[in-house]
Structure 1
Amino acid sequence: MVPTPSLRLNVLDQSPVRPGSTPRQALLETVELAQLADRLGYARFWVSEHHNTNMLAGSAPEVLIAHLGGLTRRIRLGSGGVMLPHYSALKVAESFRVLESLFPGRIDLGMGRAPGGDRLTAHALNPANTFSEQDFVNQLLDLQAYLRDERVPDTIHERVQAIPLAATAPELWLLSSSGQSGLFAAHLGLAFSFAQFINGHGAAEAVQSYRARFQPSLELAAPLANVAVFVLCADDETKAQELRAAMELQLLRFGKGERGLFPTPAEVRAYRFSAQDQAQLVYNQSRIVSGTPEQVHVQLTRLAANCGVDEVTAVTITADFADRRRSYELLAEAFALTAATSAAEPVAELAE
């Protein structure tokens, strides 16, 4: 195991639409959390890409990042991630060059190859999408070439540049819940993030394989990895268990193909778990870290050590926004994050 003397903490926010809330409120809550994370000393704040769902409001991370950049001061902002097969590599390179030019040294370009929704929607976004691994790798190579301003004879890169030209480039990350993209990241010399909140098994093996196969690149001299997990931190164990039970029910529903809003405490109390549900709860255990600040500190420190990473990304979803906000505050306190000395202006009050 690799020790983690100074664990960095990140946030991945999916802009969840809470019960009784609206998509606009979900996006405004993401803005408020980004400002909070900036003030509390989190290292990165990533926003996700999802399509054709009433559960999550974030469909265009590059647009949201641009807004967050003007309302924060220090924290790195990124996509967790852009689903690259939906788009041309040139368009993604240019979008993130604009972001990097506006907020130099603060932009992460996290990329994935999952649909971020259903296959029909993926086809609507890009009718030419073949879902081929080789096509994805080719897109990554094109993206690197555009961001490096490579002029490769007899290719598109001989005559086409990604603009604006910039002195710096976004940090490139590959996201994965299976480990396959970790191999791509290692081969291309990119950073790697394993989504343990999606797949509770295999994070340590995936990161170890990535590190063992890593080849230095112009972007990255040494391997850089993190692990993302659901984190629910509360002032006491009773509250933490309440938050965990709601997340467990949501994961059960999602596994059954149910795409409803996040369950309320009343819905959790009324639900009757079957024997099959109980087995799935056990299987999903490692996707969630929950408890008091002291308990969560122990669990996340152990997770980081087991996976050989020095940064962990927290994904927190609750039915009540105050609980979500409080979880991030307690987590920052537990790890003694250094609060920013220059805070961003507060966001406007959430619309009713």
Structure 2
Amino acid sequence: MTLERSVPLSVLDLAPVVEGGTPAASFPQTLELAQHAERLGYNRYWLAEHHNMAGIASSATSVVIGYVAGGTKRIRVGSGGIMLPNHAPLVIAEQFGTLESMYPGRIDLGLGRAPGSDQTTARALRRDLATHGQEFPELLSELRAYFNPPADEYRPVRATPGEGLNVPIWLLGSSGFSAKLAGELGLPFSFASHFAPEYLMPAIHLYRSSFRPSEALDKPYIMVGVNIVAADTDEEAKRLATSQQQQFLSLIRGRPGKLRPPVDNMDDLWQPHEREALESKFNFGITGSKAAVESRLQEILRDTMADELIVTSQIYDHEARMRSFALIAEAGSLQASV
């Protein structure tokens, strides 16, 4: 069986820190996975900004992007995303201008409007909590201006590096706010259906219906996030997926921690209402063998008409995670390079 419609596949990595492990041990594995993804034919490799989470090592996202870009050759590397309200737009322009100067034509800047953390951590990031993300369009406009050369030579504050460089900007979201804004600005849009599947189809419709052509795009371009855990058998994939289920369970209990080893039976760990909540978050994901992944990918592409899929796969064992992405690449008909 082959896919009826083939689209680029990409990787969303949280640089997971496993139980018993350290961030120092996570970063080489992130780089190895990025190099593996490049050989397998994945289109881009994005890292996400999260804070105050012991199981996620990508909090200094721009730094990790530079590390990954420096260890790869062709794959695009970027943020999925940078939480813009946490930062001064000038700083982000300079950081990504620096990355683009070092690795020209390979850097993406995906932007979100959430803090990527709890409220206490958001305060520690010096974020104004009274705005609830409503200042995001203004911050975005300021950031984009730093990349565009001024009409005249005088500008009191300029991004160096940054000004005049072509760093593709994406908007990321899990609701309609960023979908509508991305459409109105003619920017590519990536939806976080790996944790907010219930809003996916309304957001896609809103993005496409509000889209206006721009210098960046002449037609809508949407990338959809998918949780996928693949293994040689359905049974093994289901077992591997329990690490991610445990991580979400800890999160909804307000006790986020490191990525735990898989277990044989989640019923020993969750309550019925917790199981229902978690299953609703994962009902858009895929867990199974290559054949199961291929079949479900076809359904997702038919339903969403997505232009690209970005895959996240929180698996405790590094070799099993590498194997999962290889099986996903085969299911998605990617062409591996030597």
| TM-score normalised by the chain length of structure 2 | 0.92
Corresponding residue of 1:261: 258
Secondary structure at 1:299 match in 2? helix
Corresponding residue of 1:78: 78
> 1:322-352: CA deviations, max 9, x gaps?
11111001111222312234xxxxxxxxxxx
Deviation at 1:130, TM superposition (A): 4.0
> 1:143-196: CA deviations, max 9, x gaps?
11111223489xxx8432222256641111111112211111112221111001
Once the two structures are superposed, the pairs formed by residues 116-265 of structure 1 within 5 Å of their partners are 116-128=116-128, 130-151=130-151, 158-164=155-161, 168-265=165-262
> 1:33-79: CA deviations, max 9, x gaps?
11111111000100111111211111111111111112111111000
Corresponding residue of 2:23: 23
Corresponding residue of 1:347: none
Work out whether residues 7 and 311 of structure 1, in 8 Å CA contact, stay in contact via their aligned partners in 2.
yes
Question: Structure 1: how far apart are the matches of 2:98 and 2:259?
Answer: 35
> 1:271-300: CA deviations, max 9, x gaps?
244321332244233242111111111212
Give, as a single letter, the amino acid of the residue that structure 1 aligns with 2:329: A
Give, as a single letter, the amino acid of the residue that structure 2 aligns with 1:90: L
Secondary structure at 2:241 match in 1? helix
Match of 2:331 among 322, 330, 334: 334
- In structure 1, the gaps of 5 or more residues are 342-352
Match of 1:274 among 267, 271, 276: 271
1:35 aligns with 2:48: no
Secondary structure at 1:201 match in 2? helix
Once the two structures are superposed, the pairs formed by residues 2-13 of structure 1 within 5 Å of their partners are 5-13=5-13
Question: Structure 2: how far apart are the matches of 1:258 and 1:118?
Answer: 11
Q: Structure 1 residues 167, 240: CA separation in 2 closer, same or farther (over 3 Å shift)?
A: same
Secondary structure at 1:58 match in 2? coil
Give, as a single letter, the amino acid of the residue that structure 1 aligns with 2:187: L
Question: Structure 2: how far apart are the matches of 1:53 and 1:165?
Answer: 30
Work out whether residues 234 and 330 of structure 1, in 8 Å CA contact, stay in contact via their aligned partners in 2.
yes
Work out whether residues 53 and 259 of structure 1, in 8 Å CA contact, stay in contact via their aligned partners in 2.
yes
Question: Structure 2: how far apart are the matches of 1:292 and 1:314?
Answer: 15
1:87 aligns with 2:87: yes
Secondary structure at 1:326 match in 2? helix
Alpha-carbon RMSD across the aligned residues, in angstroms, is 2.2
Question: Structure 2: how far apart are the matches of 1:55 and 1:272?
Answer: 19
Work out whether residues 239 and 263 of structure 2, in 8 Å CA contact, stay in contact via their aligned partners in 1.
no
Q: Structure 1 residues 215, 269: CA separation in 2 closer, same or farther (over 3 Å shift)?
A: closer
Q: Structure 1 residues 340, 275: CA separation in 2 closer, same or farther (over 3 Å shift)?
A: same
Work out whether residues 208 and 307 of structure 1, in 8 Å CA contact, stay in contact via their aligned partners in 2.
no
Question: Structure 2: how far apart are the matches of 1:167 and 1:144?
Answer: 10
> 1:217-274: CA deviations, max 9, x gaps?
2222221111112110100111011122332333233222121222323485672443
Deviation at 1:13, TM superposition (A): 0.2
165-174 or 185-194, larger mean C-alpha shift:
165-174
Q: Structure 1 residues 217, 53: CA separation in 2 closer, same or farther (over 3 Å shift)?
A: same
Question: Structure 2: how far apart are the matches of 1:278 and 1:111?
Answer: 31
Corresponding residue of 1:98: 98
205-214 or 252-261, larger mean C-alpha shift:
252-261
Question: Structure 1: how far apart are the matches of 2:70 and 2:80?
Answer: 19
1:322 aligns with 2:322: no
Work out whether residues 243 and 314 of structure 2, in 8 Å CA contact, stay in contact via their aligned partners in 1.
no
| TM-score normalised by the chain length of structure 1 | 0.89
Give, as a single letter, the amino acid of the residue that structure 2 aligns with 1:82: I
Q: Structure 1 residues 70, 246: CA separation in 2 closer, same or farther (over 3 Å shift)?
A: closer
User: Quick one: percent identity of the two aligned structures?
Assistant: 38
Question: Structure 2: how far apart are the matches of 1:184 and 1:283?
Answer: 27
Question: Structure 2: how far apart are the matches of 1:231 and 1:266?
Answer: 18
Q: Structure 1 residues 129, 220: CA separation in 2 closer, same or farther (over 3 Å shift)?
A: farther
Deviation at 1:127, TM superposition (A): 4.5
Secondary structure at 1:340 match in 2? coil
121-130 or 175-184, larger mean C-alpha shift:
121-130
Q: Structure 1 residues 179, 232: CA separation in 2 closer, same or farther (over 3 Å shift)?
A: same
